[in-house]
Chain A
Amino acid sequence: MSRFTLEAVDWSAWMPPVDPATATPAQRAALDGSPQANSEYFRTLAHDVDSLAERSPLFHAVMFVPRGLRRAERELATVVVSIINGCVYCSSVHARRFVELTKQPEIIQALYDQGLDTPLPPRLRAVVDYAAKLTRSPADMTIDDLKPLRAVGMTDLEIHDLTNAVAMFANANRLMQTLGEPVLPPAAA
């Protein structure tokens, strides 16, 4: 059975996070600009406040800015990156977002159970293959890697957005995996 899950997962830091009661005004502002101001993860990143204050709007722009790549496809790309890197927490959060948007848990379950080569509709296949190669071997990318994306109708803006979603999770996974650990729900633990 896969260690990845569609259940909600928590995260626990390997250092004491910033305490909201003693946070500086700059830390408070950076936390308020983050997706979940009170989460242990963002309170940990708030130790280096100036980088958090740039990263949160970057993350938001990559994942949520309108037009371009469909939100569900951005989420799928981040799940693929998280599976490759082994980030159980990230894959759970973003798999759940994909399912909210598409109502297709079976796609995630197939990726978890059968791996990234599981049969998929052509457009999702192209997203998964590009995300996997850019994650594993960025130095080996060639213009031939654009062909499957263009064959399913993707514009340059969509490919741009896909590239950024993949790159953003090279970032997110590393922070999540090396500053703390996932805490699984009791039944799955």
Chain B
Amino acid sequence: MTQTDLLAEFTGPVPARSERPQIMRHSQGSHDALLSPADPGGLTRAERAWIAQRVATLSGHPGLAAHYQALLDQRGAIGASSPRDAAIAEHVTRVTTAPGTATRAHIQALRDRGLSERDIVALTQIVAFVSYQVRAAAGLALLAKDPRP
């Protein structure tokens, strides 16, 4: 990944953000580690883009959804019709929109579909990261639009 601050694409420049280089660096680093890992394990790079696209869509951020859709298109479509994909999609919707309803049985359902512990943590981290990104982008966009010195 060559991008240094993906979020700025969706907010426009926010001077205050440049006073927080560690946030910029590790927000981008989280994106890269989750979306383009050196070793993706049991969750393919296409599946990762698909998951992120769903979270951005469910959270109402069309800009980020388009970014992840473009990433998915580069990586080839995914079937989205196997029981495994359906289990992933259910988890993505639950963690994005109603995290308080999750139970131990939901984690077991993912394991039953062949996801490893690492895959489940990575899947959940992607949902949690895009949930962060959507809110950071929404707030910072206000500061870009209506800045004060």
Seen from chain A, the residues whose Cβ lies within 8 Å of a Cβ on chain B are 14-16, 44-45, 47-48, 50-51, 53-55, 57-58, 60-62, 65, 67-68, 85-87, 134-135, 138-139, 141-143, 145-146, 150, 155-157, 159-164, 166-168, 170-175, 177-179, 181
- Asked if A156 meets B16 with Cβ closer than 8 Å, knowing A139-B59, A163-B136, the reply is yes
How far is B141's CA from A141's CA once the two chains are assembled, in angstroms? 9
What is the interface of chain B mostly: helix, strand, loop, or mixed?
Answer: helix
- Chain A residues positioned under 8 Å from B113 (CB to CB): none
- Asked if A179 meets B23 with Cβ closer than 8 Å, knowing A146-B146, A170-B135, the reply is no
Q: Is the CB of A179 within 8 A of B121?
A: yes
Q: Is the CB of B147 within 8 A of A138?
A: no
- Asked if A171 meets B132 with Cβ closer than 8 Å, knowing A62-B23, A143-B146, A146-B143, the reply is yes
Choose among A16, A58, A68, A134 the residue with the greatest number of B CB atoms under 10 Å from its CB: A58
Q: Is the CB of A166 within 8 A of B95?
A: no
- Chain A residues positioned under 8 Å from B132 (CB to CB): 167-168, 170-171
- Chain B residues positioned under 8 Å from A67 (CB to CB): 19
How far is B32's CA from A175's CA once the two chains are assembled, in angstroms? 19
- Chain A residues positioned under 8 Å from B44 (CB to CB): none
21 residue pairs from A and B, CB less than 8 Å apart:
A47-B121, A51-B34, A54-B32, A55-B26, A58-B22, A58-B27, A65-B22, A67-B19, A68-B19, A85-B100, A87-B100, A141-B139, A146-B143, A150-B148, A155-B16, A156-B147, A159-B142, A160-B139, A170-B131, A177-B100, A181-B104
What is the interface of chain A mostly: helix, strand, loop, or mixed?
Answer: helix
